[in-house]
Amino acid sequence: MTARADTKALEALFFVSDEPLTTAVLAQALELDRREVERRCDQLQRDLEERDAGLVLRNVAGGWRLFTHPDTQPAVERFVLSSRQARLTKAALETLSIVAYKQPVTRLQVSGIRGVNSDGVLRALQDRGLIEETGRDEGPGRPVLYGTTAAFLERLGLPSLASLPSLAPLLEPAVEDAADVVADADDGDDDGVGPGEDGSTPDEG
């Protein structure tokens, strides 16, 4: 990988991360030694400053992370405050539902359930004050755990999480549909190629 490609990959990692990235993590992801990663981070930091970009790269809390430039604060504040009152998107509703019912949950678990990267949606929900970091998972890397906030309950008019509606009634139709599919498959299995008495099929030897 060329130096230019390394820098592109470095920027991409900072873009998708929701927390400071240590030199060790970056070195592993880019397959470079730590000293080279530090050099690339310093260079990217200078490049952003020289371009007078809307983002700045800072070394904070033992790692590197992108931040909005201080000069953009008025515009960013207006956007964030206005978006707090906007209606939630389908993606935001899906993510918020997962956090509400599965909390505490990590961003990787949320993304795994949705089948798509959910980092940006989680950040947006945090900005709106609907979810918050509740601790760290005990697993490898100790990822951040997310849960809902008091503002979430207030917006939904619920006294507590125990008042969330049960998911069971929503799952029953899906279970019934699955049972019908299995039954249909069993009814149609009359072609003489089914398993024998010992459980084997013809092409199992």
Structural domain of 18: 3-71
pTM: 0.45
Q: Could you tell me the CA-to-CA distances from 159 to 75, 88, 102, 104, 118 in Å, in that order?
A: 35, 21, 18, 19, 28
Residue 15: which CATH number?
1.10.10.10
Number of domains in the chain: 2
Provide the CA 131 distance to its chain's centre, in angstroms: 13
Tell me, yes or no, whether 49 lies in a domain: yes
The angle formed by the CA atoms of residues 196, 202 and 205, to the nearest 5 degrees, is 110
So what's the pLDDT on residue 198?
A: 43
Any domain includes 41: yes
The reply to whether 136 falls in a domain is: yes
Q: Is the N-terminal amide bond of 104 cis, ω within 30° of 0? A: yes
In a domain, 51, yes or no: yes
Instruction: Report if residue 107 sits inside a domain.
Output: yes
3-state secondary structure of 198: coil
pLDDT digits (tens, 9 = 90+) for 41-61: 999 999 999 999 999 998 887
In a domain, 93, yes or no: yes
> Which comes out higher in pLDDT, residue 120 or 167?
120
Q: Does 67 share its domain with 13? A: yes
Number of H helices, E strands in the chain: 9, 5
